[in-house]
Chains A and B, each alone.
Chain A
Amino acid sequence: MAQLTMREALNQALKEEMTRDPNVFILGEEVGAYQGAYKITQGLLAQFGEWRVRDTPIAEEAMMMTFNFSLLALDMIVNHAAKYRYMSGGQIRCPMVMRGPSGAATQVAAQHSQGFESWYAHIPGLVVVMPSTPKDAKGLLKSAIRDDNPVIFMENEILYNLKGEVPEEEFHIPLGLGDIKRAGKDVTLVAWSRSVITSLAAAKTLADEGVEAEVVDPRTLRPLDEDIIFESVRKTGRCVVVEEGWRYAGFGSEIADRVQRECFDSLDAPVLRVTAADVPMPYAKTLEKAYLPQPERIVEAAHQVLYRS
């Protein structure tokens, strides 16, 4: 297996799918001549030409660089892309992937640090993908491109340089299939995207105390692999959901809801959530740290559901 960054893995996925299917093309701000604002589309213009890799103007009703600015396009996404297939009785498909960074980076403050996965996951007709490793990113992007539904593919800027093993042979990861990122028997941590990395750090601390945390990564929020979560919670009896979005009506509450209903008799403690603070992201570094879920807060929540003080 090759060691790749998530950036390279995503680039490979695009390249392979564009090679496989001449109908695949890319539209976006700075995707061509600039090689991508985050260099995900590096080399694609040279390889596939300007008809298939097209630079667009900054017109965020239609295009965006990060999901922070996708809100202008919400009407197109929610009222059109997500509904065509349904409203046309399946006659019109919308095989489109909207990909880009989402969530906080480093000190880019209130307007540039938002995670809108909960907004998109709310909409029937959309697929929402949030990979946490290079392998997942590649395998899931390939599936997203092949899928006939509009897919919201949310990457995390901090993870672009994250390295990991990626199979060299052709592979893809089905949408709607979760993954156990770390096996454990004492407490279930459900996390996606960058929160997986934070949760793995917390799990390491917990392991030093003799607590084996299981880190479950659903990878796609819609459709959601709830079975992998239920199976884990039934084993551990305890569940902490970690997300970088806001707590209020955040996606973690969807998971907490399903867990309390389906795993009620297995729960030894209430489902807890570790989330971003319920405020706009502050600019100050220390406040940014306090705003985002940190391993310590996850450890604390795990202690709470384990009744350890």
Chain B
Amino acid sequence: MTVSKVVLAKLSPTMEEGTIVKWTKKEGDAVKQGDVLAEIETDKANMEMEALGSGVLRKILVPAGGKAPIGALIGVIAESNEDIEPLIAKEGAKAGSAPKPAAAAPAAGASSPAPEPAKAAAEATAKAAPADQPASVASAAQTPPVPAAPRSVATPPAAPASASAGTGGDGGRVKASPLARSMAAHQNIDLSSVAGSGPGGRIIKRDIESWAGPRPGADAPARSAGAPASRPSAAPASRPAPPAPSITPGQELPLSNMRKTIAKRLSESMFTSPHYYVTVEIDMDAAVDLRDQIQRLEEGKVSFNDLVVKACARALTRFPLVNASWGGDKIVTHAEVNVGIAVAIPDGLITPVVRNADRKSILDIAHEVRDLATRARDKKLKPEEFTGSTFTISNLGMFDVEEFTAIINPPDSAILAVGAVRKVPVVDGETIRPGHRMKVTMSSDHRVIDGALSAQFLAEVRRLLEAPVGLLLG
């Protein structure tokens, strides 16, 4: 078989359609399996899509800027002498990447520039009127004709037909290990909403284990960004320049895929999980000292947030119920401590995850967070790097925010909103002296975590941060 379909792959757990940012190969270029073919904008990040076969990139069906649903045929790789027209006519139309002809209802997610096969489909539809499945119709227009009538006629010529063709169930086949598949079936998890961390995005056991998103009934895949957060490189904005408006007021802004996801996911979190908030103030004098000492070493920079990540990770190992998820009819406690860090990026936010943060040193965490944040801003994160959190931290300290509350990042059960380390007057015995204080507010899902537990957890985080040398040990 020398013809290889280029099909829009599911590149993020919540992706339903993608925008082709650019093709890195041109029509006529030789392509080897594994070569990067195109850059695709998903709802979360820009991802590279690799060729699954070798040959020549014969045809690009959806040009840069175009959108296509998962599973849609967006190009064809074949030997240069291979006849690819029948495939294009058949699959290209099925992909639904072009608006449907009048006979069919408007297709969902079909907003891309019309590729040629669509015309073929349109003409064919005109001839073979009642058929509603562009795929069959398109093949009918080719020789040899595919006897498509029975299947087509069986389906009522209505909107759902086009829609299902558009979202292309078979094209976006979910890859999962048999074990992951049977675990998912057992626990009623929809595999298409799980991010695969195995080779080629294969869903494996650990993905199911770390998954505790909504069970059937709640249709949103539960992995993504959390609360309002930011991580700009600017120094504390003690005297900020007045911000210049970045957009012109008085216009309607189209929603980016990321904005849609944020809207959907955080609304769902806020409106289904009963949030409550517990705030504590932490004496950061020792942490400030420690950080100063670390900064003087050549090993590298460590932020207060890195210390908070480490302290939370360690505290989570001691409070498994905080490192847990609501599972509908059960509570799932996670074996791994994976701390998500909310990172602001130009058109939204994303939550890269420091996996097994409890087992990493502060320097490792510092390094990893910086790397993840940089790549997050460049939209270069891989799905497994922003999924699978079990707890999330959101920090607005760099904006000199004293305290705030955050929305829980599902499927976590808690998020910690971290304020700035501020120099404030503190009462020390009978005197008042300057001291460093930081306020943190934990939002907890009351279905999983009761108030007293939140308080105990925060007391442990405070204890760890107030004697931070312990964080360097082990």
Contacts and interface: CB of A to CB of B under 8 A. Distances in A.
Contacts of B180: 268
B316 to A, nearest CB: 19
Interface string B157-185: 00000000000000000000111111000
Interface in B176-212: 177-182, 197-199, 204-206
B184 to A, nearest CB: 11
A266 interface: yes
Contacts, number: 27
Interface in A269-304: 269
Contacts of B177: 267-269
Nearest to A266: B179
A307 B201 CA distance: 12
Nearest to B180: A268
Contact of A307 (B178, B181, B182, B198): B198
A269 B182 contact: no
A3 B435 CA distance: 70
B179 A268 contact: yes
Interface in A103-160: none
B357 to A, nearest CB: 17
A237 B178 CA distance: 9
Interface residues of B, number: 12
A265 interface: yes
A264 interface: yes
A268 B205 contact: yes
A307 B179 contact: no
Contacts of A237: 179, 205
Most buried by A among B178, B180, B182, B199: B178
Given A237-B205, A307-B204, A307-B206, A267 B179 contact: yes
B181 A265 contact: yes
B206 A267 contact: no
Interface string B109-136: 0000000000000000000000000000
A182 B263 CA distance: 52
Contacts of B205: 237, 268
A237 B199 CA distance: 17
A266 B197 contact: no
Contacts of A267: 177-179
Contacts of B206: 307
A269 B204 contact: yes
A136 to B, nearest CB: 32
A267 B178 CA distance: 6
A265 B197 CA distance: 19
A128 to B, nearest CB: 30
Interface string A207-225: 0000000000000000000
B204 A266 contact: no
A265 B180 CA distance: 8
A268 B181 CA distance: 9
Contacts of A269: 177, 198, 204
A269 B206 CA distance: 12
Given A307-B197, A307-B198, A268 B182 contact: no
A267 B179 CA distance: 5
A155 B205 CA distance: 39
A174 to B, nearest CB: 32
A265 B198 contact: no
B358 to A, nearest CB: 14
A264 B185 CA distance: 14
B182 A265 contact: yes
Contacts of A268: 177-180, 204-205
Interface of B: 177-182, 197-199, 204-206
14 contacts: A265-B179, A265-B182, A266-B179, A266-B182, A267-B179, A268-B177, A268-B178, A268-B180, A268-B205, A269-B177, A269-B204, A307-B197, A307-B199, A307-B206
The 8 A-B residue pairs with the shortest CB-CB distance, nearest first, are A265-B182, A268-B179, A268-B205, A268-B177, A264-B178, A237-B179, A267-B178, A265-B178
